[in-house]
Amino acid sequence: MNFQQLRIIREAVRCNFNLTEVGNALFTSQSGVSKHIKDLEDELGVELFVRKGKRLLGLTDPGRDLLEIVERVLLDANNIKNLVEQYSKRDEGQLTVVATHTQARYSLPKVITEFKKAFPKVHLKLHQAGPNEIVSLLLNGEADIGVATEALSDVTRLDSFPYYSWHHAVIVPVGHPLERVQPLTLQALAEYPIVTYHEGLTGRAKIDQAFADAHLTADIVMSALDADVIKTYVELGMGIGIIASMAFNPAKDTELRLLPCEHLFSTNTTYIALRRGHYLRSFAYRFIELCSPKLDEATIRAGVSQSDISPR
């Protein structure tokens, strides 16, 4: 048994049992993948995959049980590498942060700037993705830290920590009739076409729920991934916009007006998430602390006490 065989087991599941894709992912041939699988099954004395001819269709019961162990073994192997680098290259290495567009654009720039000043030799990879992709990247070990409002707090294999809370706000072109509506109501909003976020992004569920609870139908004529696009189409007169309040910049968005509406939509919480059991370098803890001073290394370690990471 060797690490390449274990990687093949994991990658087969990730690639939906397509051995050509497994080979490409691991920089080897399909025939090499097949041989590694056969050798491992012969050594263990059980079949790990359900087959139809030469095609793999899924995992057998022993295969599913083995996969859980494989994930732990490969995670710990990577933890050993990170631990050694912690002592040999304390302020060097790579940190991969994956965040939604809203977080990458509006909440993280100051943090990243301060982090790069403190750790100039650390290569920081910032990857933008949707909430579900962020979960996958964390669980697959392709990212160290995830930042999003949706999805993260519901995954048992992740440890999630509240980062900050925020509200939605309404944006309208300068001179729009809604500027004179005091107080702003959902019924008043429902009278206009609305441009806002895609389903599953940036608190969209809270927006939909507010209108549903009020027995109103929101006329959402367009949805977008990020606030910059929403603001563009509001400026063009397509409708009013509902965005995360921190996405509005009065110095730049001079053709728009922000109408606070904390009383209309419930509070959103953005989370920082880590894969349980993933060894973090000291600079990763510092990145999190720059996001929120309350989330120092001791707090994070206490929050992941169920993991198998030994303290440094």
DSSP code per residue over 126-164: EEE--HHHHHHHHHTTS-SEEEESSSGGG-TTEEEEEEE
Lowest mean pLDDT among 74-78, 111-115, 258-262: 74-78
**CATH code reported for the domain at 90-164+269-303:** 3.40.190.10
How distant, in Å, are the alpha carbons of 99, 107, 148, 155, 299 from that of 303?
A: 21, 23, 18, 14, 6
**CATH code reported for the domain at 3-81:** 1.10.10.10
Ramachandran category for residue 189: left, alpha or beta (phi over 0 → left; psi -120 to 50 → alpha): alpha
CA 245 – CA 164 distance, rounded (Å): 13
CA 197 – CA 27 distance, rounded (Å): 39
How distant, in Å, are the alpha carbons of 142, 169, 172, 178, 179 from that of 237?
A: 41, 17, 9, 14, 15
Burial zone of 81 (CB within 10 Å; 0-12 exposed, 13-18 middle, 19+ buried): exposed
Domains of the chain, by residue range, sit at 3-81, 90-164+269-303, 168-266
Write down the pLDDT at residue 305: 43
Same fold, 3-81 and 90-164+269-303: no
Q: How confident is the model at residue 304 (pLDDT cuts 50, 70, 90)?
A: low
How is residue 279 annotated by DSSP? P
Write down the pLDDT at residue 88: 64
How is residue 16 annotated by DSSP? T
* Helices and strands: H and E segment counts in the chain: 12, 12
Percent over 70 (pLDDT), the chain: 95
Nearest to 17 by CA among 42, 50, 43: 50
Residue 25, CB-side half-sphere exposure with 13 Å CA sphere? 18
- Answer whether residue 128 shows pLDDT above 90: yes
Write down the pLDDT at residue 110: 96
168-266 CATH choice from 3.40.190.10, 3.40.50.2300, 3.30.300.30, 3.20.20.140? 3.40.190.10
Average pLDDT over residues 125-131: 94
CA 36 – CA 236 distance, rounded (Å): 59
- Answer whether residue 41 shows pLDDT above 70: yes
Q: Locate 151 and state its tokens.
A: 């999805």
- Answer whether residue 310 shows pLDDT above 70: no
Contact status, residue 256 vs residue 180, Cβ threshold 8 Å:
no
Average pLDDT over residues 232-248: 96
Length of the chain (residues) = 312
Average pLDDT over residues 90-95: 85
Lowest mean pLDDT among 148-162, 175-189, 294-308: 294-308
Q: Please give the distance of CA 109 from its chain centroid, rounded to a whole number.
A: 17
User: Letter for the amino acid at 304?
Assistant: V
Q: Locate 19 and state its tokens.
A: 């051995």
Write down the pLDDT at residue 87: 67
CA 239 – CA 145 distance, rounded (Å): 36
Angle between helices 3-14 and 61-88 (to 10 degrees): 120
Lowest mean pLDDT among 16-20, 66-70, 167-171, 300-304: 300-304
